Structure 1
Amino acid sequence: MPDGAGLERQTPRLVAAREALAYHDVQRVRLARDMTALEAWNAVMLEPMPLIGLAFRIRDAVSARFGVKRIGGFTGRQKTQVAEGDMLDFFRVEGVTDRELVLTERDRHLDVMTTITTDPLAGGGCEMTITSSVVTHNLFGRLYMIPVGLAHPVIVKRMMRVLSRKGVGA
């Protein structure tokens, strides 16, 4: 096994079969300490990006005109435990184990699934993976995903950089 390689990487859940997805993004970061998927979520959400609140307010104002529910954005609230059916901000928890947190938002324009996994590394620490998958249902969903598809990987990458800066990353 190469130095620092994972013991065995999980296959993250997707909202639909890979070929049916309108959007799919996978990003990984090595973390200096091992943590559960919920601990990883809490660490990422601890410092919301400065303009993300404004982006969500704009999103809600525009989307509401097309009958899409308002989601409000991220609160930064920390949770010590969650169960299936609980809410983490606007996401519904669809699955949770120590190593996997499956979050969804389903609406008339699209279904989103974000899966956070933490896989232990042979040399200590873990690899956190954030996998986002989307199925669109209509023209508004497809148009919505144009700016979101461009912004989402940048946002996730920055969130992971914040973890590294705080000394959590390897």
Structure 2
Amino acid sequence: MVHPRVLSVPIPEDSLLKNLLSRVDYSDAFAVRLPSDVGVDAGEWADRFFAQPPSWVRRALALRDSLVGALGLKTNDLEAAVPFPELLRTGKEVVYGVDDRHLDFRASVHVARSDGAVHISVATVVHQHSLFGRLYFLPVRVLHPLIIRSMLRRLTA
């Protein structure tokens, strides 16, 4: 079986992410194109996206939490079904996010039907508050696309 390709895409035009942060210092979005007969409920896709991430992703998040917790930054609830708080939900998009002293981020799982297919995209926007936020985000900037692509591939397996 051939799995759908994960592509780098623009943030969907109708995404709720467009106006959630006062400034965006980093953004990315990745998507898969699925057959038209799959469901289009964003909540179901978001739940599936976060369910059972690859073990290397769990280890990376655990390492991140052990390092930043010592610095007084917010850590994730790695035992929760979704490690980030849900902020907004519509039928076609679920938005998660955290505000911290070094940066704020928002991430969404967006579902759209077009071109005879269903497009599932995961997009992220980040506002960095300080030099520490920019330094913190350097390794995240490298790993984040790998994590999202891996989780989208797993989503469609």
Equivalent position of 1:35 in the other structure: 40
Q: 1:36 deviation in Å?
A: 1.0
Q: Does 1:100 align with 2:93?
A: yes
Equivalent position of 1:121 in the other structure: 114
Which of the residues 130, 133, 141 maps onto 1:149? 141
**1:51 alignment partner, SS class:** helix
Within-5 A mapping of 1:35-114 = 35-73=40-78, 75=80, 77=81, 89-114=82-107
Stretches of structure 2 that go unaligned for 5 or more consecutive residues are: 1-11
Which of the residues 85, 109, 130 maps onto 1:138? 130
Which runs of at least 4 in structure 1 moved beyond 4 Å after TM superposition?
none
State the AA in 1 paired with 2:30. Answer: Q
Q: Whose radius of gyration is greater, 1 or 2?
A: 1
Q: 1:74 deviation in Å?
A: 6.3
Q: 1:129 deviation in Å?
A: 1.2
TM-score between both structures, scaled by the size of structure 2: 0.80
Q: 1:158 deviation in Å?
A: 1.2
State the distance in 1 between where 2:55 and 2:85 align.
Answer: 24
**2:156 alignment partner, SS class:** helix
Stretches of structure 1 that go unaligned for 5 or more consecutive residues are: 1-8, 78-88, 166-170
- Check 1:27–1:152 CA distance in 2 against 1; reply closer, same or farther (3 A cut): same
State the distance in 1 between where 2:48 and 2:34 align.
Answer: 11
TM-score between both structures, scaled by the size of structure 1: 0.74
